[in-house]
Amino acid sequence: MAPSPVTYLTLADLCERWHVKPAQIAAVALEGKLRLSVPVPGVFAEIGYYEDFGEDNWQRIPSERRRIMGVFGLYPSDAWELIKNQTKIITDLAGENDGYIDLEPEARQSDFSAAVDDILIRRDEVERFEAESAPTARDASGLPVARGGPGAPAKYDWDGFWVEACRHIHDEGVPSTQAAMVRALLDWFDKSGAATPDQSTVKKKVSRLWKALQVSGAEVSGGGGAR
């Protein structure tokens, strides 16, 4: 059979392919491990990039304004909310090279709303994720086969960490500051009885998620990059 010429999968396609539920894909997207996208039929947008002025102070630097049309990436928090709520008004999309696309409210006649059935996932993005997440190869005895060296087990429970981050945002809302989010997740490590990483390591882990939450319009204080 010839390979399919279609370069995108729908959310339903991916759920069937992986035998999982949409909520599980939403969690992977929220972790930033899988980029979900939506088609944009033609909306005016401001396109630019972020500049870091230090101390989590991210500023948007506009480059151009034009009408965009095509398939564009969702920010992790928007992808998660879209699957959770079935619909969502999208105000920002991910640009190339970590840039941004701001769907300008003053330039559009109405809000750009996406439905969960609009979600698309690039086939090469799916294949990349599958390759990176493939289980460890095993020899005929059933024992793991080392790849490129002995390696070491993960020191910290990062899978549980991301599950807790999702639970915290879902049940308690977005923390008021990035520091508050870091403290909450450090408390989770302490209460779980597992090894606890240092504060700077946790901050690095959540910085990308925090930036995405700011871009998606979450109410924060003390950080940059928000509108």
Q: What are the residue ranges spanned by the domains of the chain? A: 8-130, 158-215
What tokens does 5 get? 């010429």
Mean pLDDT per 10-residue section of the chain, whose length is 227 residues? 73 94 93 93 87 76 90 93 94 84 70 93 92 61 44 66 86 84 86 79 81 60 39
* Residue 196: predicted pLDDT: 81
Query: Which residues, listed in sequence order, are joined to residue 58 by a DSSP beta bridge?
Result: 52
- Residue 168 in contact with residue 80, Cβ under 8 Å? no
- Residue 109 in contact with residue 135, Cβ under 8 Å? no
What tokens does 204 get? 């690095």
* Residue 154: predicted pLDDT: 61
* Residue 150: predicted pLDDT: 41
DSSP helix, strand, coil percent of the chain (3-state; round to 5): 40, 25, 35
Global pTM value: 0.59
How many residues would you count in the chain?
227
